[in-house]
Structure 1
Amino acid sequence: MSAAWQPLPTGEFTGIDWNAPGAIDNEDPYLIWAEADRFAGYHFGRGKRPPKWLPIVIELTAEADVPTLVAASSTAWLQIPRVYLDVPGLRFCTARVKKRFFDQWRNNPHLRSLILRFELGLPVGHHAHALVDPCTPDSVPTPAPGLLDGKVLGLIDGGLAFANDQFLDAHGHTRVKHFWRQDDTVNGNWPGNQPHHCVPLDPARAGPTPHDMGYGHELSGADIDAAMATYTRHGQVDEDALYEHLQFWDLTRPVNHGTHVMSLACGKGNLLHPMDDEASRCDLVAVQLDWSNVLDTSGGAMNVSVLDGLMYILARCAPSAQVVVNISWGTLAGPHDGTSVLEAAMDQLIALLGGRLQIAVPAGNAYQSRTHANATLPPSGSVTLHWRVQPDDRTESYLELWLPAGAQGVQISVAPPGHAQPLPPMSMGQGGVWVDAEGSPLCGLIYPSTTALGSNGTCALLALAPTFSRRKSVTTGPFGTWKVVLHNTGATPTLFDAYIERDDVAIGQNTGARQSYLEDVLYDTSGNLGSFVDHASNPTPIRRSGTFNSLSTGRNTVSVGGLRAHPSAGGHFALYSPRKPDPDASRPQRPGVKKVPETLEPCDDNPALWGVLGAGSRSGSVVRLAGTSSAAPLQARAMVNDL
C-alpha cells in the first residue's frame, strides 16, 4: 500500500482530469469517487466497462428551464423524461447522459451557462440504459388519460400491495388509479445483488412503459380492477395469484414497508382502531421505487427516482387537484440546510404549484446511531473523529465533512486502521486516493472549495472500499477505526458537521451492508434515563442533535418526528427520532441547518412496545413497524383530511 495519496484520475466516462486545479470544485464528489474506483461500488470496477449512460439530476440556472436545456442538447447524449415539460418554469429535471454530454458541457459555453449543478444517480440495471421516447425540441406536454381531480394522495415507497382491501373502495374497486413501478426486470440489479441475467418484465402483465417517464411499467386503475376480477374466486381476490400474474413477486412477502406506510396514510384502520375519513376514501397515485433504491440505503438513486416519482404523481392529476405526497424514505448525509438538489427541487415544485402540492417526509431514525458529529475548531486547534468501520461490510462507506463558507484554513488528515502515521493532510481544493499494491483505491478524500451537494460552504467526502467480498475482483479495504483529524490553521474559529451516510439493510433483505459509526470515550452509552439526549456540558463531538433525514430539511416540505402514543414513565419521544424542541439548541451550528421537525406524530405505542400497527401485504394481516416512516404518513393523512 502506498504511504501517500495518489492523484485523482482522468475520468473514463466524463473525460475530466479530476486532478487539474479547480476540477473538483462545484462537482458531485460521489461522481468523482465513482470514476476514481471505476464504478466499483456499482459492480463495474476492474476488468469491466463503465456504464453506457449515467442517470443524473440537474439544477438549471435562474434564467433557464427544462425546454431551454432540451433545445440546447441532443437526445444522442442527453435524455430527459417528457414529464418535465409539464410544469412551466421548473429548473430541475432528471436525465440520462452519455460521455458526449461531458464533452459538450466542458466545451459548449451556452450549455454550461444553463446548468448550475448536477448529481449522480445510481447507474445500475436499466438506470444505465437509454430512455424510451425522451424529450425533443418539438415535444409538447401531453396530458395523461384519466387525470384525477379533488383530493389525491400520492405515495412513493417500496412494496406497495395495491390489492390489499385497505386500498379498495366500498364497491371493491381499487382506489389506486395510477400505479408506476420503476423497476424493469424480474431480478433487480442493485449494489449487493448482481444477477447473472436480468429478465425484462412482460409489459402484457406488468403494464406498458409510461411514455412520459421513459422507463418502468404502469398500471391504470382499470388495469388493476380487471386483473383483480380475473383472479377473484368465490368473491375473494386471490392476491398471491394476482401478484404472480402481474410479476410483483416482492409482494409475496408478508411484510412490506410501503404497504404498512400506505395503510397508515389512507387505510381503513384495523378492528381495534377503524378509520373512516377523507383519506380512507380519496383517490391514490402510487409509485413503487425500483428495488435498487430500496436495497441501496445510502440513497444513491434517491435523487433521481424520488423526483421522477413526484413528477409522475403530478402528471396524473388535473391542474385543479389538491395533492398530498408521502415519502417515507431518506438518508443521513447531506448539507441538512435544504440546499441539496432534491430538496431544492421539491421546494420549487411546491412553490410553483401555489399550494396545490404538500409533501410529508420523516425526520429520520438515527438519533442514537452515532452517525453525526458537530464541533468548533478553535484557531490552531483540531478535533479528532474515530470512525468505526465494521468487518464483513460488502458495501462502500461514506463520511461527509461539512464546513461553512470561509473555512479555507481547515486541513483534513486520515489515518487508516493499523497505521500509526496518517496520510498527508489535505487542504481545501485537493483530492486523492489511497491505493493497494495493484493500484486499486482503498479510500478517497475529495475536498473541494464548493460542492454540488449543497449551496452553502463545502463538503469533503471520505469514501471507503468494502471491507469484505466473496469476489476476487472486488478491492477490499481495512476495517476498524479510521482516525480523521480536522485541523484549523486559520485565525478564527470554524464550525464543522460530520455525517456518516446510511448503510443499513432494508426489511427482509441481505445486501451485506453494515452501518459504520463514530466512537468517543465521552459519549454516553450507559442506557440511563438521561443518556438518550445530548447535554451541553458534555464535550464529545458526537451529537444526536442534528442527526436528521437528509431528504427532510427543505423549506416547504413538512418533516415529521416520532412520539410514543402512551409515554408513561419512559418519556414522550421515540428514542430514535429527532426531538422538538432541541435538547441541544444552544450548541453553535452552521447557518441554515435544520435539526427540529415541523411536527410530531406517534410511531411507537409505548416504551416497551416499539412501532405501530399497520397493514401487512395480504388483506386482513396486521404488522408492527417502528420508525418515523410511520409518523410521516399520519401527518400526510391529516393533510388530506384538512384540505
Structure 2
Amino acid sequence: SEDVAADPNIQLTWMPDADSAIVGVIDSGIALSHARFRRIDGGTRFLSAWLQGGEWRSGAAVPFGRELFRTEIDRLMWRASVGGAIDEAAFDRAAGLTQFGHARGDRRLENNATHGTHVADLAAGFDLSDGSFDEARRRLPIIGVGLPPRTSMGANGNFLEFFAIHAVEYIIDRADRIWKACGYGPDGGFPIVINLSYGLKAGPKDGHMLIEEVIRAATEKSDEIGRPIRVILPAGNDLMSEGVAEFALPDDRPVTLDWRIRPEDHTPNFAEVWSEQISGAGGSGPAHPLTAVVRLPLGPGSPAAAGRAGQMTTLTDDADPETPLARIYCRKHDNKPPGGTGDPAWHRVGYYLCTAPTLEEDRMAGAPSGRWTIEVAGKGKNSDRAHAYVQSDQTLTFGSVTGLLSTFDHPDFRPVDYAGRAIDVYDYPIDGVAPTLTDLPPPITRRGSLNAIANNDAVRVIGSYRATDGKASVFSSAASSEPVGDGRAAPTALLPGVDGAARFGVMAAGSKSGSAAAMQGTSFSTALATRRVALAMLEWIDGDRNGQAPGSEGWFEITASDEDADADWPGQVPEIKGGHGRMTRPGTGRLPR
C-alpha cells in the first residue's frame, strides 16, 4: 500500500552498545512491560515490537499490525504508572496487546500465564534485583514479534508459516537499521539469536518449506558478512500424538489407515499424504505416484484415481450430494529456493485431506465423526513408500477446548505398555545397557514426528529432557529413521523441559510482574537454548569474535557432547531423539525448585 512507509521512524531514547547481541522472540502473548524485560533504570529492553494482530496505523512501516519502538513503549509504561508501579493491564490495553473491543481480539495476557511471556523470560529475562546479571541485561536487548490470534493463523496453523516469515525478516531488518542508526557503520551488525517456539505437525518434512528456505537464505547471507544469525526452533511435543505414518507400499495392494475424527469438533481436520522424491521439475501439474482413497464412516469413498498437482475433489454423502463433507487437494512441492533460477533437482506431490467440522450447526452440515479410512496404494516408479501426517488442530478462541485433534489408528499400534506407561521411541535403561527400540511396528510410528518447519540444517532444533535423571521427555518429538530429501535425521540437542517426575514443567514468568508459572514442552527447552547461545555470543564478542560463533551445529555438537558426558546421567538417549546430547540449563536467576 502507498500508506506503508518505506523506512521506519526509529525512536530509541537508549541505543544499544556495539558489543551487544540481539535476542529476537517470535511468540504469542508477550508482556512487553514485564519487570523481567526492563533495564535497571526502569525502561524497557525491547528495542521494538511488532504486534501482528494489533491495529494498523497509517504511515507505519509494517504492512499490518502495530509497531512500537522503545520510546513509545516507555511512554506507555510511564502513562500506566500508579504510585511508582506500572498498571500492566492498563499498559496492555493502551499498547494494543489486549483487545477487549474486538469479538476475536487478543486477550491472552489477561490469563495468569502466557506462552510468549514464559518463553521470552527463559530466553532473555533477568531479575532486576540481581546485580550479577547487570552486564547481560545491558548487552542483550530484545526485538519481539507478537504472532496474531488463531483466528488469523487458522485452527490448523495454515498461515503460521507466512506470519513467521514476516517475523524473521522483521527482526533482522530492524536489528540492522538500529545498528546503522547508532552510527556503527554500514558494515557488520549485531549478532542475532531468534527464538521461534512454534511449529506444525504436518508438512513435507524434507527441509524445503518456504520458511525453511527463507531462514537458510538469511543465515547464509549473514555468514558472508561475518555477522551470525541463529534461529532456534522446538522439536515439537507430538511424539505421542499418533499422527505420523511412514510405510512401505507393496505392489498393487493398498495400505489401510484409520483416521479417527472426534465428535463435536468445531474446527476442520486436516491430514497429508506425501510421495517420495521424484527426479526432475515435474512440470506444472505432475501426477501423484500414489492413490489415496478417503472413505466416510459407513459411507462412500473418494475416486481411486491418482491426482495431479492443482486438482481438487469433493466427497459428499449420497443422501445429500450438494453438501461437501471433505475435500482432497493435490499440491506440488520441490527444492527450488524462492527467487532461484533454473529447475529444481526433484519434486514431490502431496495430498491434503480436509474434512468439515463434526459439530453440526444451522448454517452448515457437519462431517460424520468416527473412523474414517485412508487407503494408500502405489503403482510403478516412485511409489514404494508413503508418508502421512495429521495436521495441528487448535481452537480459534484462546482457552477453549473445542478444537479436537484427530489421530491415526491401526490394530498393530500400541500407545502404552501393559503397565499403562506411554511408549517412547526407545526405552531408558539405567544400568548402562544400550536402549532398545520400542517404536514397532509400522505403519503408525513415533519417528518422524519432528516439527514440520524445523527440518533443515540452517536452524537448531531443541528437544526436552527431565532435569532430575536425564531421561528424554516422552512428549519430545523424534526425527524420522529415513528422512526424506534434506530432512533432519535428529534434533540438535536436548535441554530441560521438565524439572522432575513430580515437578511439572519449568518455572518462568507469569503474565504480570512478580508472578511465576510452570509450563512444559520443547518450546521452553528451546528458550533455554536461546539463552545459552545469547550469553555465549557475548563471550565470543569479548574475545574479538575469534573462532566459530556460538549456536552453530558444530558448537552445539561440542557443547552437548561434553556436558552430556560430564553429567554422567544413568541412561543413554539415542541420536534420533536426543541429537548431540543433553545440555545443562543456563542460570535464570530463579530459586531452584
Q: Which residue is equivalent to 2:270? A: 398
Q: Residue 442 of structure 1 is aligned with which of 325, 333, 356?
A: 325
The answer (yes or no) to whether the contact 2:463–2:493 under 8 Å persists in 1 is yes
1:502 and 2:392 aligned: yes
CA distance in 2, matches of 1:530, 1:292: 30
Shift of 1:210: 6.5
Q: Which residue is equivalent to 1:217? A: 66
Distance 1:448-1:166 versus aligned 2 partners, 3 A rule = closer
Superimposed CA distance per residue, residues 372-417 of structure 1 (whole angstroms, 9 cap, x where no aligned partner): 0011112223211100011111111111101113495422212111
1:243 and 2:70 aligned: no
Equivalent residue of 2:67, what SS?
A: strand
Amino acid at match of 2:205: H
The answer (yes or no) to whether the contact 1:328–1:633 under 8 Å persists in 2 is yes
Superimposed CA distance per residue, residues 318-372 of structure 1 (whole angstroms, 9 cap, x where no aligned partner): 2511111101111111111111111111111111122431111111011000010
Q: Which residue is equivalent to 1:540? A: 442
1:563 and 2:462 aligned: no
Amino acid at match of 2:25: L
Distance 1:247-1:469 versus aligned 2 partners, 3 A rule = farther
| Aligned residues with identical type, % of pairs | 25
The answer (yes or no) to whether the contact 1:154–1:325 under 8 Å persists in 2 is yes
The answer (yes or no) to whether the contact 1:293–1:300 under 8 Å persists in 2 is no
The answer (yes or no) to whether the contact 2:249–2:378 under 8 Å persists in 1 is yes
The answer (yes or no) to whether the contact 1:381–1:489 under 8 Å persists in 2 is no
Q: Which residue is equivalent to 1:299? A: 157
Distance 1:392-1:295 versus aligned 2 partners, 3 A rule = farther
CA distance in 2, matches of 1:468, 1:166: 43
Shift of 1:269: 5.8
Equivalenced residue count is 478
Distance 1:309-1:423 versus aligned 2 partners, 3 A rule = closer
Q: Residue 221 of structure 2 is aligned with which of 344, 352, 362?
A: 352
Shift of 1:278: 2.6
CA distance in 2, matches of 1:618, 1:595: 40
CA distance in 1, matches of 2:126, 2:29: 19
1:386 and 2:264 aligned: no
Shift of 1:542: 0.7
Shift of 1:438: 5.7
Q: Which segment is superposed worse, 525-534 or 426-435?
A: 525-534
Superimposed CA distance per residue, residues 537-579 of structure 1 (whole angstroms, 9 cap, x where no aligned partner): 8333111111011121122111111111112xxx611111025
Distance 1:334-1:593 versus aligned 2 partners, 3 A rule = same
Amino acid at match of 1:479: S
Q: Which residue is equivalent to 1:172? A: 42
Distance 1:330-1:270 versus aligned 2 partners, 3 A rule = farther
Equivalent residue of 1:268, what SS?
A: coil
Q: Residue 577 of structure 1 is aligned with which of 472, 476, 494?
A: 476
The answer (yes or no) to whether the contact 1:292–1:301 under 8 Å persists in 2 is no
Superimposed CA distance per residue, residues 39-81 of structure 1 (whole angstroms, 9 cap, x where no aligned partner): xxxxxxxxxxxxxxxxxxxxxxxxxxxxxxxxxxxxxxxxxxx
Amino acid at match of 1:543: T
Q: Which residue is equivalent to 2:77? A: 228
Q: Residue 375 of structure 1 is aligned with which of 212, 230, 247?
A: 247
Distance 1:352-1:153 versus aligned 2 partners, 3 A rule = same
What TM-score comes out, normalization by structure 2 length? Answer: 0.74
Q: Which residue is equivalent to 2:413? A: 523
Shift of 1:230: 2.2
Distance 1:235-1:491 versus aligned 2 partners, 3 A rule = closer
CA distance in 2, matches of 1:478, 1:501: 18
Q: Residue 551 of structure 1 is aligned with which of 453, 460, 477?
A: 453
The answer (yes or no) to whether the contact 2:11–2:70 under 8 Å persists in 1 is no
- The aligned runs of 1:66-85 (5 Å cut-off) are none
Shift of 1:302: 1.1
The answer (yes or no) to whether the contact 1:252–1:617 under 8 Å persists in 2 is yes
CA distance in 2, matches of 1:242, 1:530: 44
Distance 1:469-1:408 versus aligned 2 partners, 3 A rule = closer
Amino acid at match of 1:242: F
The answer (yes or no) to whether the contact 1:293–1:301 under 8 Å persists in 2 is no
The answer (yes or no) to whether the contact 2:268–2:354 under 8 Å persists in 1 is yes
Equivalent residue of 1:457, what SS?
A: strand
1:512 and 2:402 aligned: yes
Equivalent residue of 2:205, what SS?
A: coil
The answer (yes or no) to whether the contact 1:295–1:511 under 8 Å persists in 2 is no
1:411 and 2:291 aligned: yes
Shift of 1:176: 0.8
CA distance in 2, matches of 1:592, 1:538: 25
Distance 1:161-1:490 versus aligned 2 partners, 3 A rule = same
Q: Which residue is equivalent to 1:426? A: 305
Shift of 1:252: 2.3
CA distance in 1, matches of 2:127, 2:197: 19
Structure 2, unaligned runs of 5 or more:
99-106, 180-187, 279-286, 338-345, 427-436, 538-593
Q: Which segment is superposed worse, 493-502 or 312-321?
A: 312-321
The answer (yes or no) to whether the contact 1:434–1:441 under 8 Å persists in 2 is yes
CA distance in 2, matches of 1:267, 1:142: 26
Shift of 1:276: 6.5
Amino acid at match of 1:623: A
Distance 1:468-1:372 versus aligned 2 partners, 3 A rule = same
Equivalent residue of 1:630, what SS?
A: helix
Distance 1:573-1:316 versus aligned 2 partners, 3 A rule = same
Amino acid at match of 2:140: C
1:322 and 2:322 aligned: no
CA distance in 2, matches of 1:132, 1:620: 44
Amino acid at match of 1:564: R
CA distance in 1, matches of 2:377, 2:312: 17
CA distance in 2, matches of 1:133, 1:477: 43
Shift of 1:463: 1.1
The answer (yes or no) to whether the contact 2:21–2:139 under 8 Å persists in 1 is no
The answer (yes or no) to whether the contact 1:408–1:427 under 8 Å persists in 2 is yes
The answer (yes or no) to whether the contact 1:427–1:447 under 8 Å persists in 2 is no
Q: Which segment is superposed worse, 254-263 or 213-222?
A: 213-222
CA distance in 2, matches of 1:619, 1:394: 35
Equivalent residue of 1:353, what SS?
A: helix
Superimposed CA distance per residue, residues 101-159 of structure 1 (whole angstroms, 9 cap, x where no aligned partner): xxxxxxxxxxxxxxxxxxxxxxxxxxxxxx46359xxx7x6784558553111111110
Shift of 1:530: 7.6
The answer (yes or no) to whether the contact 1:295–1:505 under 8 Å persists in 2 is no
